[in-house]
Chains A and B, each alone.
Chain A
Amino acid sequence: MPVISPKQKQREYDVVIVGSGAGGGQMAYTLTMEGIKVLLLEAGRMFDPVGETAMFHTWDMAPLRGVATPDKQKDFYDASIESGWEIPGEPYTNASEDKLRQFAWWRQRMMGGRTNHWGRVSLRNGPYDFKTRSRQGIGFDWPISYNDLASWYDKAEMLVGIFGDSEGIENSPDSSPGVLLPPPKFRAGELLARERSKKLGVSVVPVHRAVLTKQQDAQRVPGKLHPRNKKAQRLLAANMRLRLKCFFATACHRGCSIKAAFDSTSVYLTPALNTGNLHILPNSMAREVTLNKAGKAKGVTFIDKTTGAEHHAAGRVIVLAAGSQESVRLLLNSKSNRFPDGFANSSGKVGKYLTDSVASRVSGQIPALEALPLHNEDGVVGQQAYMPWWLAGQQHKLNFPGGYKALLVSGRKMPSLNTGKSFDRVSGGDGIPFGKKLKEDARRYHGSFQSIGAQGAMAANDDCYCELDPQVKDKWGIPVLRFHWKWSDDELRQVSHQQQAMTEILEAMGARFFHAPYVDKPEKAISQGGKIIHEVGGAIMGDNPEKSVTNQWGQTWDVPNLILGDGATFPGTADKNPTLTIMALAYRAADHLAGELKKGNL
């Protein structure tokens, strides 16, 4: 079963999935391996990560040296097409004029979704992160504990291929033995940070990322992931053999034509297609979830973007994994007599409790790193080292709940257009440097600048939510989302702490700074909501149908054959990146769903 056109669609499928990224891809993989017939709808076009990836291109080959434009909003070689903060004809709105109270929404309209340009940082939530309400008195507890998800993290990590190490750090869990691939060596600046941070009680350890530092074990892993399923074992083993080990060059966000870096198309959808149980329908913009007379989800109405025609895809089960807020929008736009306020929204909680990483950054220049002997510092390109939250056991002594982690990338990176002006801050003289002096400054200082970025936890609150805009519609006439956003004092106090701590770490490395840290002005340092592209929530899971939208398997309380398979179900944001948890939850939800379908419960 292949990629199809709307005409080739079957009358009904076991499961219709909306969205092909981390959540939808994982659901499609698990279900089709279990013999379930799946139709996957994706709003964007097919994308071939092998043939459409400009891995070794240098910036001088790109228009405008590859800088971001309204057409390519990260950079020219970023593996994002028809994607960005602002997509022509597909607006969203913000209720407030105040920038600090606005939310920025990245959408990825292509097969594989945001997994194409994701940085691949893959961290587990820790035990405390599931108990926010119990421990901190704010936000929500999840309806599951870390122990409920631990084995699914192991499975997701084995399937995806993730490097990292075991550190025994409080609330930053280790994986089971044999699950992770070996971490890459640190760069010089990362080793310096590790050495100098010790006296501050901060550990610099290998980050976990979805990059193969070693080929996956195609002999062992398929049997562990698919016991008693020989066909699945065979297909997974064949797919693992198509993925090569990282060759330690070029940024993962450009895409990976050797499939060393994970993306949904290469790792989930390719073996899923090979089961013969998957139809993929690209260019299909979902508009509405439909309801049958029995009160169950019947299917999804979608627009074929190539013709503008509207179609309907029917399934026994419907999974929404369109990207948290896009799934929420679909629910809100699916109105009926039974659900006048949106599908499965009898609680009134659809759209509520959006959260995002609480992020800020501090930069300095490290004289010790100047003019180091030249060597290749690409490594796995991007993050190799991070500082897991070091005060998890002393949270009660701090004036903010929830922790943060800090990420750093050191070394001489591939220069960009901005490199030309980057030496002004350290160059002497009474004019900006040019000529011979600029060339000398560049040779001395390139690679000596060090930035540390923190990303922290955010508990759900009543001020961050989305709803349908009463007036604005997109180019297909579908009502768009209107966002409400407000950082609480908790988040702002956390950013003050981030600014102070990251400044101390850089100072320990001997840094000089170009402006004072924003310890007293956290609102100046905090990243705008959505800008880290870690947004989750809007249809949160819980154990009370009046206070949440879904149960622990993403099944909506109102309509059990409608399942949320993306980050919309997160009851809060941890100090960990959300994607691995989206994958583990989707893995667990799909496994549960397969069981229910086999038992005839849905």
Chain B
Amino acid sequence: MKNPSSNFQAQESGSNTTERPSRINRRVALQWISSATAAIPLLEREAPAAEKPGVRPPSVFAKGYGPDPDIIRKYKPGDLWPLTFTKDQRLLMIVLCDIIMPADETSPSASSLNVHDFIDEWISSPYPAQAADRNIILKGLDLLDEKAVRRGKPKFVSLKLKDQLVICEDLARKAKADVRRFPGSFFYRLRNLVAGGYYTTPAGMKDIGYRGNVPQAEWNGPPAEVLKKLNLPPQ
């Protein structure tokens, strides 16, 4: 992304920091820039190589958001760089999301919070830290379908939930034994991303018991029942 600060500087001339005449201009400029940069990699990007069995797709050629992104904008997966999943992979991820973070009496499932799209955004990231996850997760998705074939079904998603759970429980044990070794590494990374993706949504934050991020006139410390439980005197 081109740094917009050069435009910003010219617009800032004659203003001071208590006024904000250039804010709209900058916002508009940033939106223009990010939509332009989002469009280019789509054209430049190679066609998904996943058509050929056994061949891993290349790293994406998208660019990052640059050192001066619009942080006020609310981003959705796909806004900044093209996504990776095929229709089948996306469907499989929806199933995995709901195995890892299922709905229950008090909170919704991960797929209903679009966590699967976050996973797609993550593995499609142009940044180096996510490149390893891209390989591990795509490889792991293939492995799950292979395991289904061995059980007489064409795909993991065609298995009964009971059988899907047996496979995942086995992977969870492998992950606990060694988080670096495939396929335990696949389930470990997937679980981290699905659960982390879940708990960073408002519904997930509520479920985990986070009650903050709301403005308050006063902060009075923990309520009396908390102090009582901890055997502490009133503050």
Residue positions of A touching B, CB distance < 8 A: 2-5, 8, 44-46, 48, 50-54, 56-67, 69-72, 76-77, 81-84, 87-88, 111, 184-188, 191-192, 195, 242, 247-250, 265, 269-270, 273-274, 280, 282-283, 305-306, 368-369, 372-381, 412-421, 424, 429-436, 438-439, 442-443, 446-447
Contacts and interface: CB of A to CB of B under 8 A. Distances in A.
Given A45-B9, A46-B9, A70-B128, A63 B65 contact: yes
B204 to A, nearest CB: 7
A191 B198 contact: no
A420 B189 CA distance: 10
A182 to B, nearest CB: 11
A419 B199 contact: yes
Contact of A191 (B102, B207, B212, B230): B230
A417 B5 contact: no
A369 B231 CA distance: 12
B101 A50 contact: no
Given A48-B20, A185-B221, A446-B209, A57 B173 contact: no
A51 B217 CA distance: 22
Contacts of A373: 223, 225-226, 229
Interface centre among A58, A66, A368 (most CB of B within 10 A): A58
Interface stretch (B53-61, B84-92, B119-127, B143-151): B119-127
A417 to B, nearest CB: 4
Nearest to B235: A185
Interface stretch (B42-50, B70-78, B152-160): B70-78
Contacts of B12: 3, 45-46, 282
B209 A443 contact: yes
9 contacts: A48-B17, A51-B72, A88-B67, A191-B222, A249-B213, A280-B17, A375-B223, A420-B191, A434-B100
Contacts of B136: none
A415 B67 contact: no
A187 B209 contact: no
A283 B197 contact: no
Given A58-B202, A375-B223, A415-B205, A63 B232 contact: no
Contacts of A446: 208-210
Given A88-B67, A247-B215, A431-B176, 14 more contacts: A48-B20, A54-B72, A60-B197, A82-B68, A248-B215, A250-B213, A273-B18, A376-B212, A378-B212, A416-B200, A419-B200, A431-B169, A439-B207, A443-B207
A84 B8 CA distance: 21
A274 B18 contact: yes
Nearest to A70: B127
A56 B213 contact: yes
B173 A431 contact: yes
A274 B16 CA distance: 9
A63 B214 contact: no
A412 B9 contact: no
Interface in B1-45: 3, 5-6, 8-10, 12-18, 20, 23
A73 to B, nearest CB: 9
A133 to B, nearest CB: 42
Given A46-B12, A48-B17, A419-B196, A434 B99 contact: yes
B18 to A, nearest CB: 5
Interface size class of B (residues with CB under 8 A): 35 or more
Q: 6 nearest interchain CB pairs? A: A420-B195, A431-B172, A185-B221, A420-B196, A378-B212, A417-B196
Given A70-B127, A247-B216, A2 B16 contact: yes
Nearest to B96: A434
Given A82-B3, A432-B187, A377 B211 contact: yes
A65 B118 contact: yes
B80 interface: yes
A63 B75 contact: yes
A432 B191 contact: yes
Contact of B198 (A53, A70, A420): A420
Interface string B158-169: 000000010011
A347 B23 CA distance: 48
Nearest to B197: A65
A238 B101 CA distance: 52
Nearest to A194: B232
Contacts of B194: 420
B101 A415 contact: no
B65 A71 contact: yes
Contacts of A77: 71
A415 B204 contact: yes
A442 B121 contact: no
B112 interface: no
Nearest to B191: A434
A2 to B, nearest CB: 5
Contacts of B168: 434
Contacts of B17: 3, 46, 48, 111, 265, 269-270, 273, 280
A377 B215 contact: no
Nearest to B214: A249
A67 B8 CA distance: 27
Given A191-B222, A373-B225, A432 B175 contact: yes
B9 to A, nearest CB: 5
B199 A442 contact: yes
A269 B15 CA distance: 13
A81 B68 contact: yes
A326 to B, nearest CB: 17
